[in-house]
Structure formats: C-alpha cells, structure tokens
Structure 1
C-alpha cells in the first residue's frame, strides 16, 4: 500500500480509538471526526457490529469492529482498501 494510504489508515485508526462513541450512533454522530473521514455501520440492522470508515473522498475505506474492553478498547480491522 502506498505511504499516503497507509498514513490515512493509521490516522483513521487513531481517531476511532479515541472517539467518544466508537459505534457512532445517531444523526451526525461522526461530526467530531476530521473532514476527510466518515463512519457508518456496515449493515443498518446491526449498529453494534462492523463499521466502515470512508476516507479521502472515497479513495479508500476501512472495515472494523470495535471491541469494548474496560482497560484497553480494541479496534479489529478486517479490511483496508486504497485506490
């Protein structure tokens, strides 16, 4: 993966780990994220399941699942794509 895509993926991951609500529930729930990324559930019927992050104007995406743990929350990335 090119450095530009890799850098965006690492930045997106950092934003997700520090998000107040990593499930991004509700309207405009991702308003606090940088302008270059948006988050939504992968399936609207499973809002607590996998989510997709679109970034760089649709040039790439990241599919992840958030695992809530008290001491150390964890983001599990199942797919990363950069065009």
Structure 2
C-alpha cells in the first residue's frame, strides 16, 4: 500500500494528472476490500487494482472523466 502513496506523491510533485480510486464499502464476497486503491493516469494506464474485470474497466472510464472535469466525485457500482 505504501507504494501507491508514493505514486500519488510522484503525480503531484511532477505536475501530472491522475485520479485516485478507492473502495469505500463492500458487501459480501468481493475480490478487493474496503481501502483498496487504484491510481488512474490521464493516459488511462493504472497503478494498483480494485479487483479487475468489468468493474475495474468502468471505474477507469469514470476516472478519466473525473480527470477531464477536475471535479472530485463518488460513484456506486455493483458486481451483480
């Protein structure tokens, strides 16, 4: 987890843009738990994971929109 915080600091220190995606709540069986983080760069590349699959793909799309808008946001997604 320390590595992701270093990557976030690097983004800030180098004037790059990225979005930090964090799982804030889960229910039932999930691939990643509360607190898992993923950093999405403006290029669409990532550091870390929030579980992979279709959910992660959607979160990357959401993150790219957030980077463009420059407005913090919170989304709710279901694995069902």
Q: TM-score w.r.t. structure 2 length?
A: 0.33
Whose strand fraction is larger, Structure 1's or Structure 2's? 1
Whose helix fraction is larger, Structure 1's or Structure 2's? 2
Q: TM-score w.r.t. structure 1 length?
A: 0.32
